[in-house]
């Protein structure tokens, strides 16, 4: 378990860009991707806005027949995995398939496929349900399809833990490497739930922003006037690799995954523990595993959903764990620009955090215009900054009380 794990490839898709660099540039520029829903007619919905991926073309990875047989969330996973593998140099120099695995999760899976086939069943009868319905819908299929496409025969499965899914997948992937079961793992999350059932369900829960007349300013983490999160779609896939293996093949590393924390609130199906105990315990676990003191952490990519309760509790958790050092932290929520990618959020935000460690640029929290006295830390408001970052954490908190924290540090050859 003393094998070191580094990030050697990153693939990103989100409402602000369809590639890693497009996403990174947009986030640094403070450009949001929230707008009116176009995937379906939302005229009768209380919520009419979302973070949709624009101009997405899976044609480089899937032919037209394959596209019809693959749900949008799995298409995102395939395209982002292709980018991550290319970034890591694994397309030109194919890895050992027996020593390379895939763990990709989705919080909800193929909800669009489920909706379409349920409508076909009700309106036209059971014979009209697609024979591809089940393999298109199930959440683990993204990992399976990536494995099949690239001949990756190592550990292979999906993870489901709501908004903590992508981060849990990365934690599991690192453990496979540390245990010696693999040298390379593709991991993260993908989600595509800008569809009627999801918007209606989250909306009726009163979890979503209803700022329909001003979508660009709807996602506003830590702001006093926040009124809910914005459903978004996309993917975040990382290549994580054993450090000596990466060095031997001449791969560059963005960051080292030093540790991880994962806890449960044991409190409520949707609401976090109001004292932030579970989240702060996950922070403590991650730093303890990585041998890092709280005052060594420079940056936090916060879960920061823009819901009144979550942002307040997450702030309390950081104050609880970091104590006086909380005042010195640079914190930002990239969900202010992307919206909430749900099961893909942990993978996407881990990728951004690795880039922050590597490049020492910190994206802002946009729309932070009205200070909330209960959210009183430095959330890097409205403009990106250049700042030394040796160690960062990325937090993901999910319905069901799932808490995850990823601890990232400079790559071993850059310390």
- 211 and 336 housed in the same domain: no
- 105 and 43 housed in the same domain: yes
CB 173 within 8 A of CB 185: yes
Catalytic residue among 150, 168, 245, 303: 303
395 CA to centre of own chain: 10
Phi (first) and psi of residue 397, to 5 degrees: -125, 130
Please give the pLDDT value at position 267: 92
Asked if 340 is an active-site residue, the reply is yes
- 206 and 299 housed in the same domain: no
Residue 272 scores a pLDDT above 90: no
Nearest to 357 by CA among 306, 399, 415: 415
CB 263 within 8 A of CB 226: no
Please give the pLDDT value at position 392: 98
- 277 and 185 housed in the same domain: no
- 290 and 391 housed in the same domain: yes
DSSP-based three-state secondary structure for 57: coil
- 236 and 278 housed in the same domain: no
**Residue 391 falls inside a structural domain:** yes
Segment 102-152, tens digit of pLDDT: 999 999 999 999 999 999 999 999 999 999 999 999 999 999 999 999 999
**Residue 272 falls inside a structural domain:** yes
Residue 93 scores a pLDDT above 90: no
Please give the pLDDT value at position 360: 98
**What are the distances in angstroms from CA 346 to CA 167, 325, 326, 352, 395?**
4, 24, 22, 10, 8
Band the pLDDT of 415: cuts 50, 70, 90.
Answer: confident
Q: Does an H or E element contain 236, and which?
A: strand 234-242
Segment 301-311, tens digit of pLDDT: 999 999 999 99
Segment 103-112, tens digit of pLDDT: 999 999 999 9
- 127 and 227 housed in the same domain: yes
Determine how β-strand 184-191 pairs with β-strand 402-409: unpaired
- 272 and 228 housed in the same domain: no
Please give the pLDDT value at position 105: 98
Which residue is it, tokens 């976090």? 272
CB 212 within 8 A of CB 48: yes
Please give the pLDDT value at position 80: 98
Tokens of 14: 């989100």
Determine how β-strand 35-36 pairs with β-strand 49-50: antiparallel
Band the pLDDT of 1: cuts 50, 70, 90.
Answer: low
Phi (first) and psi of residue 96, to 5 degrees: -65, 110
Segment 3-32, tens digit of pLDDT: 999 999 999 999 999 999 999 999 999 999
Q: Tell me the average pLDDT across 359-368.
A: 98
Please give the pLDDT value at position 258: 97
Asked if 163 is an active-site residue, the reply is yes
Which residue is it, tokens 């298409």? 75
Q: Tell me the average pLDDT across 316-330.
A: 97
**Residue 394 falls inside a structural domain:** yes
- 23 and 128 housed in the same domain: yes
E strand segments, 304-373: 330-332, 361-362
Band the pLDDT of 275: cuts 50, 70, 90.
Answer: confident
- Dihedral class, residue 147 (left if φ above 0, else alpha if ψ from -120 to 50, else beta): alpha
- 243 and 343 housed in the same domain: no
**Residue 224 falls inside a structural domain:** yes
**Residue 387 falls inside a structural domain:** yes
Q: Compute the mean pLDDT over every residue in the chain, rounded to the nearest whole number.
A: 97
Catalytic residue among 23, 150, 163, 375: 163
Which residue is it, tokens 């193929």? 110
DSSP-based three-state secondary structure for 104: strand
**Residue 92 falls inside a structural domain:** yes
Instruction: Tally Cβ neighbours within 10 Å of residue 59.
Output: 11
Segment 195-248, tens digit of pLDDT: 999 999 999 999 999 999 999 999 999 999 999 999 999 999 999 999 999 999
122 Cβ neighbours under 8 A, 6+ residues apart: none
CB 94 within 8 A of CB 100: no
Domains identified in the chain, total number: 2
Catalytic residue among 150, 245, 340, 402: 340
- 62 and 189 housed in the same domain: yes
Domain end point (choices 213, 228, 248): 248
Please give the pLDDT value at position 47: 98
Instruction: State the Cα–Cα distance between residues 299 and 301, nearest whole angstrom.
Output: 7
CB 222 within 8 A of CB 379: yes
CB 330 within 8 A of CB 219: no
Full residue range of the structural domain in which residue 395 is found: 260-414
CATH number of the domain encompassing residue 220: 3.40.47.10
Which pTM value belongs to this model? 0.97
Instruction: State the Cα–Cα distance between residues 374 and 379, nearest whole angstrom.
Output: 13
Q: What percent of the chain has pLDDT over 90?
A: 96
- 243 and 264 housed in the same domain: no
**Residue 98 falls inside a structural domain:** yes
**Residue 79 falls inside a structural domain:** yes
248 Cβ neighbours under 8 A, 6+ residues apart: none
Domain end point (choices 248, 274, 301): 248
Segment 372-392, tens digit of pLDDT: 999 999 999 999 999 999 999
Q: Tell me the average pLDDT across 38-44.
A: 98
Domain end point (choices 248, 271, 290): 248
Nearest to 347 by CA among 57, 14, 1, 60: 14
């Amino acid at each position: 378990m003393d094998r070191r794990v580094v990030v050697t490839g990153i693939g990103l898709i989100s409402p602000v860009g369809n590639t890693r660099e497009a996403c990174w540039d947009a986030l640094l520029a403070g450009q949001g991707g929230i707008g009116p829903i176009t995937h379906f007619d939302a005229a009768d919905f209380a919520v009419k806005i979302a973070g949709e991926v624009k101009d997405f073309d899976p044609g480089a990875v899937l032919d037209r027949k394959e596209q019809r047989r693959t749900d949008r969330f799995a298409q995102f996973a395939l395209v982002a995995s292709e980018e991550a593998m290319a970034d890591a140099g694994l397309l030109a120099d194919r890895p050992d398939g027996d020593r390379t695995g895939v763990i990709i999760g989705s919080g909800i899976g193929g909800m669009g496929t489920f909706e379409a086939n349920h409508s076909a069943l009700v309106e036209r009868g059971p014979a009209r349900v697609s024979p591809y319905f089940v393999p298109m819908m199930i959440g683990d299929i993204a990992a399976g399809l990536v494995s099949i496409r690239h001949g990756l025969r190592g550990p292979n499965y999906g993870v489901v833990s709501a908004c903590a899914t992508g981060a849990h997948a990365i934690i599991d992937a690192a453990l496979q490497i540390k245990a010696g079961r693999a040298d390379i793992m593709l991991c993260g999350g993908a989600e595509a739930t800008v569809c009627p059932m999801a918007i209606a369900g989250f909306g009726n829960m009163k979890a979503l922003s209803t700022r329909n007349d001003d979508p660009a300013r709807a996602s506003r983490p830590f702001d006093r006037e926040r009124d809910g999160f914005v459903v978004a779609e996309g993917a975040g896939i990382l290549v994580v690799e054993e450090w000596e293996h990466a060095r031997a093949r001449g791969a560059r590393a963005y960051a080292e995954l030093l540790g991880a924390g994962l806890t449960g609130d044991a409190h409520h199906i949707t609401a976090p523990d109001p004292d932030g105990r579970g989240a702060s315990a996950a922070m403590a676990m991650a730093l303890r595993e990585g041998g890092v003191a709280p005052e060594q952490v420079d940056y936090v990519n916060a879960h920061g959903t823009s819901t009144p309760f979550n942002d307040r509790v997450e702030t309390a958790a950081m104050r609880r764990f970091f104590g006086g050092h909380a005042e010195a932290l640079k914190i930002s929520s990239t969900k202010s620009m992307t919206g909430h990618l749900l099961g893909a959020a942990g993978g996407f935000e881990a990728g951004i955090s690795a880039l922050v460690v590597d490049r020492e640029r910190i994206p802002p929290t946009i729309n932070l215009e009205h200070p909330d006295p209960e959210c009183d830390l430095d959330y890097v408001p409205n403009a990106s900054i250049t700042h030394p970052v040796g160690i960062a954490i990325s937090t993901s908190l999910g319905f069901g009380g799932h808490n995850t924290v990823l601890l990232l540090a400079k790559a071993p050859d850059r310390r």
